[in-house]
A and B are shown apart, each in its own frame.
Chain A
């Protein structure tokens, strides 16, 4: 079965520091999708990125960047010049087909990021 490991339970940084959130996954599928979501204190999971297994290009979106490496089964997320508003719990997730023909997301336990002023 698929598995997602986010080894960092909590990270605390000072504003303007760069921070990298680690994600390691396990899957036997050759085609799969990886996701990152942000969960602020309000509770809603905010979609950040989706990456398919055939696209290993790194992606940058403003202060956010993602490093996908199939060789190490990792999909790490870096926030450059962190801000207080980045404080949230960040989840990495992996797609998994279900017996009913749907797709479901297997989530890691999340990394709580606190950015202090």
Chain B
């Protein structure tokens, strides 16, 4: 595997289900991100992890719970979602060299989530 991978690619869940999205990066990066892309809004950042620590939560509802056990893996745990949470969830990673400008984020293919 190369780059950033995400599983599953498609997910359909009911509002009472619990599911998890997985992201894995094979680039040796230290920062990982979750973005949400819905039909009516621009891509929006949800969470950022730098060196396994959460450094950004963009006012995301608690029904979304991220987990970053190591610099290569990122999860998004989903619980009691709403139909409006249906979207493409994109994971990204970057080198995150501290104190040195903005590095480039590389994205995975996304998980297309449908909440019924």
Binding site for B on A (CB under 8 A): 31-33, 35, 37, 42-47, 50, 52, 91, 95, 98-105, 107-110
Inter-subunit contact B101/A52 (CB<8 Å):
yes
Inter-subunit contact B110/A43 (CB<8 Å):
yes
B: number of interface residues (CB 8 Å) = 27
Binding site for A on B (CB under 8 A): 31, 33, 42-45, 48, 50, 54-56, 58, 88, 90, 92, 96, 101-110, 112
CA–CA, A32 to B102, complex, Å? Answer: 8
Known A-B contacts A33-B101, A37-B107, A42-B109; A105 and B42 likewise in contact (beta carbons under 8 Å): no
Inter-subunit contact B101/A110 (CB<8 Å):
no
Instruction: Please report the number of residue pairs spanning A and B whose Cβ atoms sit closer than 8 angstroms.
Output: 62
CA–CA, A107 to B42, complex, Å? Answer: 6
In the assembled complex, which residues on chain A have CB atoms less than 8 Å from the CB atom of B110?
A: 43-44
Task: Report the nearest A residue to B105, measured CB to CB.
Answer: A105
Inter-subunit contact B56/A43 (CB<8 Å):
no
Inter-subunit contact B107/A44 (CB<8 Å):
yes
In the assembled complex, which residues on chain A have CB atoms less than 8 Å from the CB atom of B43?
A: 91, 105, 107
Task: Report the nearest A residue to B107, measured CB to CB.
Answer: A45
CA–CA, A109 to B45, complex, Å? Answer: 14
CA–CA, A68 to B27, complex, Å? Answer: 29
